[in-house]
Amino acid sequence: MSIKSIIKLMDIKTLVAGVIPVLLGSTYSWYAYGQCNVVYLVLLMIAMILIQSGTNMTNDYFDFKRGADGEDKVHEKALVSGEITPKQVLFIIILFELTAFMIGVFLGSQTSYYILLVGITGGIIAILYASGPLPISYTPIGEIVSGVTMGIGITTTVIYIQSGVLNLSTVVVAIPTTLYIGTILLSNNLSDLDGDKEAGRRTLPIIIGRRNAEKLWVFNVMLVLILTGVLVFLGLYPIIVCAIVLLIFPYKCITDFLSYEKSIKTKGRTMGLIGKVGVKYHLAVIMGLLISIIFKAGI
């Protein structure tokens, strides 16, 4: 077992789905409620990286046990390539999840043990996502479950940890992120469509077809922009957020996405595009919020 194998297991390209809600939730808490604890922010980042990595490993472990991952994924899956054993993967999963749980206990002792309930619920969903008689990852609702769990679940919990506030506004603010995280999984499932079909999965791209899945991808990305305008209209975001988002949003990612066939061979390109969309969009939102914070402080 090497560091390289562990990093491969962690699936670095998906960790943005765990990091973004923490950064967004902490920044919004600072903007809307004047509260942001840097220590909490760092601990939450570490915990979410561990949890997301653990979920990825759990999914790979059960896929390997079922024989769902074929030779075409040798370059992508450390278990399939034989770089690491199932027992070693289980050990790492337990270590990661236990460390994240300890961070949760500490944060709960400093704020509210409500977050442990959220964490346990998220853990159960992660297990059901990868295991059981009908794993969520084998169904068409994977995008919805992952989006809601990580988008709304994490963002609202982070805001609550930072500010003690949990209301409808904190839920609504998380909706664009929820849509984005669901689209990350859509990108993954679209790339894996052929292999998933052979493995007996019934993911969303398999149900609606490759072309419709591509159209849904584009629709989701555009809807994120529209929802940002809605949040500004509702007064939850300052108008500067909308201006910065429109200025630096990577529109070319949409035309690039439509320019090639999606398959396991082009998975890196597809995941890279949705990653770029998410990073630039959320960076723009966070920049807008920070500028507003600075402006209010100057006044």
The H-assigned helical ranges of 14-66 are 16-33, 38-66
- Residue 194 is predicted with a pLDDT of 87
Contact present, 111 and 159 (Cβ < 8 Å): no
Distance separating the N- and C-terminal Cα atoms of the chain: 55
Residue among 217, 21, 18 nearest 126 (CA): 18
Report the 10 Å Cβ neighbour count for 181: 29
Average pLDDT, the chain: 87
C-alpha span between 283 and 265 (Å, rounded)? 29
- Indicate the range of 67-71, 133-137, 291-295 predicted with least confidence: 67-71
- Indicate the range of 20-29, 45-54, 253-262 predicted with least confidence: 45-54
- Residue 113 is predicted with a pLDDT of 79
Give 1's pLDDT tier (boundaries 50, 70, 90).
Answer: low
Which amino acid is it at 124?
I
Q: What confidence tens digit (pLDDT) does each residue in 145-176 have?
A: 989 988 999 999 999 999 999 999 999 999 99
Residue among 48, 35, 290 nearest 164 (CA): 35
Is the model's pLDDT at 299 over the cut of 60? no
Q: Tell me what percent of the chain is helix, strand and coil, each rounded to the nearest 5.
A: 80, 0, 20
- Can you list the positions of beta strands (E) in the chain? none
C-alpha span between 228 and 172 (Å, rounded)? 11
Average pLDDT, integer, range 53-71: 72
Contact present, 264 and 73 (Cβ < 8 Å): yes
Under DSSP, the state recorded for 71 is G
Is the model's pLDDT at 284 over the cut of 70? yes
The tokens describing 194, both together, are 């052929």
- Residue 256 is predicted with a pLDDT of 96
Q: What confidence tens digit (pLDDT) does each residue in 63-98 have?
A: 776 665 555 555 656 666 667 787 888 888 889 889
- Can you list the positions of beta strands (E) in 125-219? none
Domain count, the chain: 1
Q: What confidence tens digit (pLDDT) does each residue in 195-251 have?
A: 888 878 899 999 999 999 999 999 999 999 999 999 999 999 999 999 999 999 999
The CATH number that applies at residue 107 is 1.10.600
Is the model's pLDDT at 265 over the cut of 80? yes
Q: Label residue 223 exposed, middle or buried (CB < 10 Å: 0-12, 13-18, 19+).
A: middle
The residue segments making up the domain with residue 142 are 3-298
% of the chain exceeding 70 in pLDDT: 92
- Residue 281 is predicted with a pLDDT of 96
Which amino acid is it at 8?
K
Residue among 148, 157, 176 nearest 281 (CA): 176
